Amino acid sequence: MPLVTSEAMLLAAQKGGYAVGAFNVENMEMAQAVIAAAEELQAPVMIQTTPSTVRYGSLALYRANVAALAKAAKVPVAMHLDHGNSFELAAQALREGYTSIMIDGSHEIFEENIALTQKVVAMCKPNQIPVEAELGKVGGKEDDLNGGAGGYTDPLEAKEFVKRTQVSSLAVAIGTAHGVYVGVPKLDVERLKEIRKVVEIPLVLHGASGLTDESVRECIAEGICKVNFATELRIAYSDGIKQVLSEKPDVFDPKVYSKAGREKVKELVKNRMQVCGCQGRA
């Protein structure tokens, strides 16, 4: 089916008490793996690209790959700009046909984050494209993202932010981090509960790679409707390739080792979808 927006799938997840898995991809094989997993489990899915991934290829290239795969799929697929870092990039993604946009102004002061987010929401509204924003700062470092030690989302600020920006979903900072965790993350689930009391739109959890299944499920039970996975997909894809090249060092056909990477990603994505509880929800 054609690409769909993320709004309906996230509202359905909110109503149904599960979360939609949102997966960052770096190439065609990873996109194939994610959609193949979604088809097998009959799950709605979001495929994401970050600014650094876009620089590696282009918005048009990634969108074309995902759109072609989605067209042949029988499950809803949304194409999402993850951590859009400027109004200009958000505008480019909108023009290229992305069906979900994130503008990340979390590194700005509160009022500047609001102003930037309002601008992107106003731009996307005529095309009915939903906008995700972030309040607080998810810690860690991955690609261009450097949240340092992070900064927690204040529930009352979240309420005001959503009211003034009219975003469709909100990424919250409750102790997660991008990249590979050093030590065991301690999530502030009580903070998430307080945010949920005053914010009605779907909430998003970033930095889920490396969290325990129990932690992810607990966050979903307290109102998370979208869970982002990135780092562990990269690791899985690379592990598949490394295994083939280790066992068969003379292999030179990219299709051979890329297929192994693709299978590793597919199995991981299926697991994460089951943790999110979105299987059978397409």
- List binding-site positions: 83, 104, 134, 178-179, 206-209, 228-231
d(CA 49, CA 128): 20
CA 248 from centre of chain: 34
Query: What residues are labeled active site?
Result: 82
> Crossing angle, helix 28-41 and helix 254-276, to 10 degrees?
40
Return binding residues for dihydroxyacetone phosphate. Answer: 179, 207-209, 228-231
Q: What is the DSSP string of 81-143?
A: EEEE-SHHHHHHHHHHT-SEEEE--TTS-HHHHHHHHHHHHHHHGGGT--EEEEESB-EEEET
Q: Which residues, at least 6 apart from 8, have a Cβ–Cβ distance to it below 8 Å?
A: 76
Q: Determine which helix (DSSP H) or strand (DSSP E) holds 262, and give its type and residue range.
A: helix 254-276
Q: Which residues, at least 6 apart from 69, have a Cβ–Cβ distance to it below 8 Å?
A: 31, 32, 35, 77
